[in-house]
């Protein structure tokens, strides 16, 4: 077939794709008969109201000498690992605020960290395009550093996010600037599956975040600079199960909703969104109230759901940390307005496994732990 | 690309190096190299055809995927069904970060405000509503 004929076919296929996308958008629009907030309000749900002393900062974890980029809690709920621009991972006892481990990294440009399900190992990755595993029980070397127990190499771009597969100590998923996600076997250091890349339904720009479904660990969702989130089945790497459109900027963060049937996203377009995993419907947009100064609109850097899903915590680039009422799509509280809040961008946040505390990490070099300090009424 | 026509041979490369060195010693700048010929447009060649074919394959697969998704929508529930599920999924779930929550209350929720003994033997007491860091 000649080049001219191929060009003709390419133009025709492109036109068909655009036409189908438009048809899909219109059909989906017809199915969006309501959103979560309208539905909840019409069913008698009322907004949550917090008093100014309900959510309080009960710990500040000081020790990093550079911006904090990432954090993760252990499943056993009282320890946190954090990664910083200072080239260190610090493992904290969140109850005592003490450091249990400080790991000096070979590459200081770390972007992400994660605890293994057992809490015995931590993983991290960054601009070195590799994911390094450290066993916290390893003997320290002469300089007092914990040696790397395994390096997972193979990505062709920075490692933006990593997460262990729940209840599987030897399996981990990474996302990368090379537009792919990879499932790794930590024991062998080999790639089990690559999601995206040469496959047609993969991301078309850097993948920034991922979240594994704790209700069904075969499924995970990824967020990308291509303004989409994609759902993947670990058992079928050749194509994304579904692509979720709606955002108008990089999808910086994705998190599964506690029921495992939905997930949230946070984006450079300043919004958080709630998507239904099965149908692909966008169920809610969580938009910041419009401010007068439109020049520097804060972007969403990180999100987390409370254990029931009623609260959506969203960290922003201006230091705000909104506590959204998921049901009515209103801001119930802004941790950023409190006297002892962070003084820089909220770069990461996460909830303890029992849901009793939120930890936020910031470019101000600190981590803060927030818990409910008011009078709790149990019904 | 070398400035000398004999750049393919070792002798040619050495000569070029020597010439560059003597030029430097005389503090004169060598004449700029002649402009390189523009690379041939390769769209007519194998590479262009290969890339176009690959792009068409991708688009064809996307067409199938989009058609599949459109067909799925025919039998799909409206968003209100999923919204109802969201509400139901929260019903009766204990929530440690809310002022009003369903029971049972877990005493460990308030561990952040209780006496803590650190490994160094320090003790402190934390009260609700203040920062003890």
| A179-226 residue pLDDT tens | 999 999 999 999 899 999 865 679 989 999 999 999 999 999 999 999
Please indicate whether, in this complex, the C-beta atoms of A378 and B43 are within 8 angstroms of each other. no
Please indicate whether, in this complex, the C-beta atoms of B70 and A261 are within 8 angstroms of each other. no
Can you give the three-state secondary structure of A69-122, one letter per residue? Answer: EEEEECCCCCEEEEEECCCEEEEEECCCCEEEEEEECCCCCEEEEEECCCCCEE
Same-domain check for residues A12 and A45:
no
Mean pLDDT of A141-148: 84
Residue A181: count other Cβ atoms within 10 Å of its Cβ. Answer: 31
Among residues A366, A371, A322, the alpha carbon closest in space to that of A344 is found at: A366
- Decide if B85 is inside a domain: yes
- Tally of residues, chain B: 133
Tokens of A166: 């729940």
Partner-chain residue, chosen from A45, A283, A355, that has the shortest CB–CB distance to B82? A283
Q: How confident is the model at residue B104 (pLDDT cuts 50, 70, 90)?
A: confident
Same-domain check for residues A244 and A288:
yes
Same-domain check for residues A68 and A26:
no
**Contact between residue A270 and residue A18 where contact means Cβ atoms under 8 Å apart:** no
Mean pLDDT of A5-32: 85
Q: What CA–CA distance (Å, rounded) separates B7 from A121?
A: 56
Same-domain check for residues A19 and A88:
no
Domain that holds residue A263: 36-372
**A372 membership: H or E segment, kind and range:** strand A367-372
Q: What CA–CA distance (Å, rounded) separates A169 from A121?
A: 9
The mean pLDDT value of chain B amounts to 66
- Decide if B18 is inside a domain: no
In total, the C-beta contacts within 8 angstroms joining chain A to chain B are 229
Same-domain check for residues A264 and A146:
yes
Same-domain check for residues A10 and A150:
no
B11 has pLDDT over 70: no
**Residues 6 or more apart whose Cβ sits within 8 Å of residue B121:** none
Please indicate whether, in this complex, the C-beta atoms of A96 and B119 are within 8 angstroms of each other. yes
Q: What CA–CA distance (Å, rounded) separates A256 from A275?
A: 10
Q: What CA–CA distance (Å, rounded) separates A41 from A287?
A: 18
The pair phi, psi for residue A285, each rounded to 5°, is: -115, 130
**Contact between residue A124 and residue A110 where contact means Cβ atoms under 8 Å apart:** yes
Same-domain check for residues A210 and A69:
yes
Query: End-to-end distance of chain A based on CA atoms, in angstroms?
Result: 73
Same-domain check for residues A184 and A64:
yes
**B61 membership: H or E segment, kind and range:** helix B46-74
- Decide if B56 is inside a domain: yes
Q: Give percent above pLDDT 90 in chain A.
A: 73
**Contact between residue A127 and residue A133 where contact means Cβ atoms under 8 Å apart:** no
Count of domains observed in chain B: 1
The pLDDT, as a whole number, for residue A118 is: 95
B116 neighbourhood in chain A, CB within 8 Å: 95-96
Same-domain check for residues A23 and A81:
no
A231 has pLDDT over 80: yes
B87 neighbourhood in chain A, CB within 8 Å: 39-40, 43, 45, 327
Q: Tell me: the pLDDT tens digits for A22-35? A: 878 788 778 889 99
Q: How confident is the model at residue B31 (pLDDT cuts 50, 70, 90)?
A: low
Helices and strands (DSSP H and E) totals, chain A? 2, 29
Same-domain check for residues A287 and A343:
yes
The pLDDT, as a whole number, for residue A179 is: 92
The label of the residue with tokens 């099965």 reads A278
Same-domain check for residues A20 and A129:
no
Q: What angle do CA A363, A368, A373 make, to 5 degrees?
A: 150
Q: What CA–CA distance (Å, rounded) separates A226 from A242?
A: 14
Please indicate whether, in this complex, the C-beta atoms of B63 and A279 are within 8 angstroms of each other. no
Domain that holds residue B53: 46-91
Please indicate whether, in this complex, the C-beta atoms of A281 and B82 are within 8 angstroms of each other. yes
Same-domain check for residues A243 and A336:
yes
- Decide if A379 is inside a domain: no
The pLDDT, as a whole number, for residue B92 is: 84
Among residues B123, B112, B106, B117, the alpha carbon closest in space to that of A373 is found at: B112
The pair phi, psi for residue B28, each rounded to 5°, is: -110, 145
- Decide if B69 is inside a domain: yes
- Decide if B74 is inside a domain: yes
- Decide if A236 is inside a domain: yes
A145 has pLDDT over 60: yes
Mean pLDDT of A74-88: 90
Read off the CATH number of the domain in which A114 is found: 2.130.10.10
CA distance A131 to chain B (A): 30
Count of domains observed in chain A: 2
Residue environment code for A142-151, b if the CB has 16+ CB neighbours within 10 A, otherwise e: eeeebebebe
Q: What CA–CA distance (Å, rounded) separates A166 from A183?
A: 13
The label of the residue with tokens 């100014």 reads A52
Among residues A9, A18, A89, the alpha carbon closest in space to that of A361 is found at: A89
């Amino acid at each position: 077939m000649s080049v001219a004929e191929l060009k003709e076919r390419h133009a025709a296929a492109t036109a068909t794709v655009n036409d189908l996308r438009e048809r899909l958008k219109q059909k989906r629009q017809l199915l969006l008969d309501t959103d979560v907030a309208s539905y909840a309000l019409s069913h008698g749900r009322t907004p949550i109201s917090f008093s100014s002393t309900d959510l309080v900062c009960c710990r500040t974890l000081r020790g990093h000498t550079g911006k904090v980029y990432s954090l993760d809690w252990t499943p056993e709920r009282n320890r946190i690992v954090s990664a910083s621009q200072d080239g260190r991972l610090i493992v904290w006892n969140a109850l005592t605020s003490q450091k249990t481990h400080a790991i000096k990294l070979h590459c200081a440009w770390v972007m992400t960290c994660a605890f293994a399900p057992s809490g015995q190992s931590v993983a991290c990755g960054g601009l070195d395009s590799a994911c390094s595993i450290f066993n916290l029980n390893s003997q320290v070397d002469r300089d007092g550093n914990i040696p790397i127990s395994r390096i997972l190499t193979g990505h062709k771009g920075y490692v933006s996010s990593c997460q262990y597969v729940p209840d599987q100590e030897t399996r981990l998923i990474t996302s990368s600037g090379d537009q792919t996600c990879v499932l790794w076997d930590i024991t062998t250091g080999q790639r089990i599956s690559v999601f995206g890349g040469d496959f047609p339904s993969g991301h078309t720009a850097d993948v920034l975040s991922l979240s594994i479904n704790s209700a069904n660990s075969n499924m995970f969702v990824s967020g990308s600079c291509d303004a989409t989130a994609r759902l993947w089945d670990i058992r079928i790497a050749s194509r994304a199960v579904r692509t979720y459109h709606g955002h108008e900027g990089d999808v910086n963060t994705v998190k599964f909703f506690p029921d495992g049937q939905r997930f949230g996203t946070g984006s450079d377009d300043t919004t958080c969104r709630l998507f239904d995993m099965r149908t692909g419907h966008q169920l809610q947009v969580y938009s910041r109230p419009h401010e007068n100064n439109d020049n520097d609109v804060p972007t969403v850097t990180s999100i987390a759901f409370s254990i029931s899903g009623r609260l959506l915590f969203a960290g922003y680039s201006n230091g705000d940390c909104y506590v959204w009422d998921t049901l009515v799509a209103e801001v119930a509280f802004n941790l950023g307005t409190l006297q002892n809040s962070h003084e820089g961008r909220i770069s990461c946040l996460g909830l303890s496994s029992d849901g009793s505390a939120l930890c936020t990490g910031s470019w101000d070099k600190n981590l803060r732990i927030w818990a409910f300090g008011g009078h709790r009424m149990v019904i | 690309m070398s400035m000398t026509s004999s750049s393919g041979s070792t002798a040619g490369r050495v000569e070029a190096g020597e010439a560059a060195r003597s030029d430097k010693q005389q503090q004169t700048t060598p004449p700029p190299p002649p402009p390189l010929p523009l690379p041939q447009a390769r769209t007519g060649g194998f590479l262009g055809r290969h890339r176009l074919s690959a792009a068409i394959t991708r688009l064809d697969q996307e067409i199938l995927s989009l058609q599949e998704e459109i067909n799925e929508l025919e039998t799909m529930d409206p968003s209100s069904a999923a919204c109802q599920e969201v509400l139901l999924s929260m019903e009766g779930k204990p929530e440690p970060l809310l002022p009003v929550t369903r029971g049972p209350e877990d005493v460990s929720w308030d561990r952040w405000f209780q006496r803590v003994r650190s490994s160094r033997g320090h003790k402190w007491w934390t009260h609700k509503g203040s920062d003890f860091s």
